[in-house]
Amino acid sequence: MVMSARQYYSGTGGAADYTRESEFFAKLKMRNGTFKLTQPSRFRELETAFRPVLAERAAQLRDVLDVGVSTGVTTVELLRYLEACGSTPKITATDLFIDAHIVEVATGVRVLADPEGWPLQYDVAGLAIRPWIRRLDYVSLAFIPRQLAKAMLQPRLRALIRSGKSEPVQMITRALSRGDSIEFVEDDIMKRSPGLAGRFDLVRAANILNKSYFSADQIRLAVANIRAYLKGRGSLLIVTRTNEKGENSGTLFEVMADGSFAALMRVGGGSEVEDLILGLQEP
Ligand SMILES: C[S@@+](CC[C@H](N)C(=O)[O-])C[C@H]1O[C@@H](n2cnc3c(N)ncnc32)[C@H](O)[C@@H]1O
């Protein structure tokens, strides 16, 4: 049985059970239609290949940005990996959806919702129920109460959240230990964030800048934002995508003196968006 948000955040659903954690997050459908999906240990071959370069520059890698982190499981691994390479980095982990709220709408009925009141999970007396509709629901007519519940609840949830009558939570992994220097921040990589400008020695974009998901123009826009977030000459960028077999196609880039990117190393034939990154016009 999938854990309810209450169980997850109170730690009563099995403290270090990452399978159950993944199950919990994988059932949360965000308002853009995506689910919170990620997999631990998915970058092994990439880590091995890039280790010599990252270890050589360990002292330089102080501020790191990981974009599109989902629950941050792989961000925690990135922190451990960079520490093993000899760095002591501070990581900023961003995603479109990080913040959520648990709202009690009636005795024994709670809803996990995003800040706009979009329901992510109902919890009725400890039983976790998905608010989203699947194809079978149209056959069984179960979509009617689901759609009604969502339409009626969303404005109420939003109002309760705005008036502070909710428990704020973050949709992040429990693999994070106290003292880990990772800050989770909601951010859209397609929009320039002045607060991130010029701050980072290394940016990682893993399983986000995919041609099947974004257009070439959107990827160029995201990469231009990433370049603005890097400190400048010598800063590094890792872009990778994991396929269904768990293999990575990734490239390690370096920012050159003129602000363009150069490819330093490749794994699995390199990133599928390498051409767009190397062809990016100078700032
Ligand atoms: C497949 S997950 C990748 C998670 C992790 N990086 C990994 O490789 O395991 C992609 C994540 O990108 C996020 N995402 C999608 N569009 C985004 C955007 N415009 N800005 C920031 N994050 C975005 C999604 O919310 C999702 O959590």
Tell me the pLDDT of the chain averaged across its residues: 93
Q: How far is residue 75's CA from residue 171's CA, in Å, rounded to a whole number?
A: 13
Expressed in angstroms and rounded, the spacing between residue 106 Cα and the centre of ligand 1 is 33
Q: Where are the domains of the chain?
A: 5-35+99-170, 44-97+173-278
pLDDT tens digits for range 183-241: 999 999 999 999 999 999 999 999 999 999 999 999 999 999 999 999 999 999 999 99
pLDDT at 222: 98
**46 touches 240 (CB < 8 A):** yes
pLDDT at 212: 94
What tokens does 198 get? Answer: 């010029």
Residue nearest to atom 5 of ligand 1 (CA): 69
pLDDT at 209: 97
> 20 or 168: whose pLDDT is higher?
168
Expressed in angstroms and rounded, the spacing between residue 107 Cα and the centre of ligand 1 is 35
Arithmetic mean of pLDDT, 128-142: 82
Instruction: Provide the whole-model pTM.
Output: 0.92
**264 touches 253 (CB < 8 A):** yes
Is the pLDDT at 16 greater than 90, yes or no? no
Tracing tokens 């880590």 back to the chain, one arrives at 47
Homologous superfamily (CATH) of 44-97+173-278 is Vaccinia Virus protein VP39 (3.40.50.150)
Q: How far is residue 113's CA from residue 146's CA, in Å, rounded to a whole number?
A: 15
**85 touches 54 (CB < 8 A):** yes
Count of beta carbons in the 10 Å neighbourhood of residue 23: 15
pLDDT tens digits for range 60-100: 999 999 999 999 999 999 999 999 999 999 999 999 999 99
Expressed in angstroms and rounded, the spacing between residue 189 Cα and the centre of ligand 1 is 9
Is the pLDDT at 40 greater than 90, yes or no? no
Residue nearest to atom 2 of ligand 1 (CA): 70
Q: Coil, helix or strand for 99?
A: strand
Is the pLDDT at 283 greater than 80, yes or no? no
Expressed in angstroms and rounded, the spacing between residue 207 Cα and the centre of ligand 1 is 7
Sign of the dihedral through C-alpha 76, 273, 196, 221? negative
* 66-102 core/surface letters (b: 16 or more CB in 10 A; e: else): bbbbbbbbbbbbbbebbeebebebbbbbbbbbbbbbb
pLDDT at 135: 82
**What are the two backbone dihedrals, phi and then psi, of residue 72, each rounded to the nearest 5 degrees?**
85, 10
pLDDT at 37: 86
